[in-house]
Structure 1
Amino acid sequence: MITQLQYPERSKIIYPDDNGEPMSDNTEQFRLIVWIKENLELLFARVADVFVAGNLLWYPVEGNNKLAQAPDVLVAFGRPKRYRGSYQQWNEDNIPPQVVFEILSPGNRLTPMIQKFKFYERYGVEEYYLYNPEQVDLTIWQRRDQELEAVESADGWVSPRLGVRFQLSETALEIFGPNGAPFVSFVELAQLREQAELRAEEEQQRAEQEQQRAEQERQRAEQERQRAEQERQRAEQAETLLEQERSRSEALEARLREMGIDPNLL
């Protein structure tokens, strides 16, 4: 008698949203994960079909809830922005995340990191970034056919998918967007916004002061015009009085002559 193995229906398989592992082992690792994830979110905020997530479980094969990895940051091009408890690839038009980031911590061990690398290589990652903050070391792999091959120099590398540039200083990793603007933290972004708002307020105040000075100049010009008009009117009045006086004098002289009196002898 042959006993057939009973497999659970795929629709009944549960794909946990949590693998029980912490998102990070220390504050620096957490800071870097959030820094990269949030800046990539901002970079693609206006692109509807680019999905960015941090520490999200990725299941590449339907029916296997044991096969999964949770990259520190993943980017999936061609997928909409929406809520996900996990990234189930068969529900995503079978599109794998093309870009993943991992931030090393003292708790990372060699064997799990090798397993992650093989997972990313097997299931379609195009760009894999592994950063060690203690050593300020960035390793980059890029897909060549079916394999992930190490990039010769990470310093100055520009991601084909993301369009961002990676720079290594003596103390830190720096990332620059396609427009050359550096990735910043939330605090730095808030400070930049405050500075921009302050500059805008200062510009508005300067514009208002200029407007006030222009209004004052207009008022002074109007006052000068009014004074000039008053002087002109006074001059016209004086000329009129002088003309009237001249007319009366001429009329008087004419009357005296009619009376036979020479006005020059008076």
Structure 2
Amino acid sequence: MTISLDCEILYPDSDGQPMADNTLQFRWIVLIKENLDLLFADQPDVFVAGDLLWYPVEGHPEIRVAPDALVAFGRPKGERGSYKQWEEDNIAPQVVFEILSPGNRLKEMSKKQQFYDDYGVEEYYIYNPDRNDLHGLYRTAEGLRAIEEIQNWISPRLGIRFVLTGTTLELYRPDGRPFLSFLQLEQRAEQERQRAEQADQRAQQADQRAEQERQRAEQERQRAEQERQRAERLAAQLRALGIDPES
């Protein structure tokens, strides 16, 4: 008698590696991932994730990688333990980001680049915040090729612009707004709240001044009316005495 064992293939949701090696790397991963979330918040068919394992080939859990950030166009938003490509209409993430730390090795990064090249990534961006060094690759007929001039490069898929200053990387949305951290967003929101509050106070003060002016005008009208009435009473008294008030 032959016994058949149906062994389920496991695709772990974690590779056991930390999301980041240090606070600087973590800050950049969060900055990029969360701003991409904001950028595509109104597009239900754009999936954004950070540090999510991507399995491109069914039946091969050993073939996997976890980009620091990925964007998959044509896939719905939602929670996932991992990105199993065969469950995603076989759509590979089109854009990936890697944020380097001192612990990254050239051999490791070369393997990642080959992986992204082999499995259909269209744009691949690598930033080293310690060295303020940015590199990018985009897909051609020959595969992923280096972007020769990355300064002011605009991502074909994302529409975001890359600006490398003397000290840091700046990213700009298609409408020109910069990528901001949660702290910066909160500070800007607080500044806007204060400005709105000050504008409201100025409007209230203007209303109060207008009301005061209206009241003064009304008082002047009442005084003028009282003077007119007094003049009419005096004229009536003079006429009663036989005196023409106009003479």
Question: Aligning the two structures, in what range does the TM-score lie when normalised by the shorter sequence?
Answer: over 0.9
Task: Verify: 1:165 aligned to 2:155, yes or no.
Answer: no
Residue 243 of structure 1 corresponds to 239
The one-letter amino acid of 1:30's match is F
Partner residue of 2:211 out of 195, 215, 239? 215
Give 1:134 deviation, angstroms.
2.0
C-alpha distance 7-120 of structure 1, shift in aligned 2 (>3 A): farther
Note the alpha carbon deviations across 1:24-49, whole angstroms, 9 max, x for none: 11111001000111111111111111
Name stretches of at least 5 consecutive residues in structure 1 with no aligned partner: 1-5, 248-266
Residue 147 of structure 1 corresponds to 143
User: For residues 209 and 9 of structure 2, what CA distance do their matches in structure 1 show?
Assistant: 75
User: For residues 24 and 47 of structure 1, what CA distance do their matches in structure 2 show?
Assistant: 28
Residue 118 of structure 2 corresponds to 122
Task: Verify: 1:32 aligned to 2:28, yes or no.
Answer: yes
The one-letter amino acid of 1:25's match is D
Give 1:149 deviation, angstroms.
0.7
User: For residues 92 and 7 of structure 1, what CA distance do their matches in structure 2 show?
Assistant: 28
Higher-helix-fraction structure: 1
Residue 102 of structure 2 corresponds to 106
Q: How many residues align?
A: 242
Where do residues 1-266 of structure 1 align in structure 2 (5 Å cutoff)?
Answer: 12-246=8-242
SS in 2 for 1:131: strand
SS in 1 for 2:224: helix
Give 1:14 deviation, angstroms.
1.5
TM-score (structure 2 length as normaliser): 0.94
The one-letter amino acid of 1:112's match is E
TM-score (structure 1 length as normaliser): 0.88
SS in 2 for 1:141: strand
Note the alpha carbon deviations across 1:209-243, whole angstroms, 9 max, x for none: 00000000011011111111111111111111112
Does the 8 Å contact 1:121/1:146 carry over to 2? no
SS in 2 for 1:246: coil
The one-letter amino acid of 1:180's match is G
Q: Which 4+ stretches in 1 moved above 2 angstroms? A: 6-9
Q: CA RMSD in A?
A: 1.7
Give 1:146 deviation, angstroms.
4.9
Give 1:182 deviation, angstroms.
1.0
Give 1:18 deviation, angstroms.
0.1
Give 1:207 deviation, angstroms.
0.4
Give 1:105 deviation, angstroms.
0.9
Give 1:109 deviation, angstroms.
1.2
User: For residues 106 and 142 of structure 1, what CA distance do their matches in structure 2 show?
Assistant: 25
Give 1:78 deviation, angstroms.
1.1
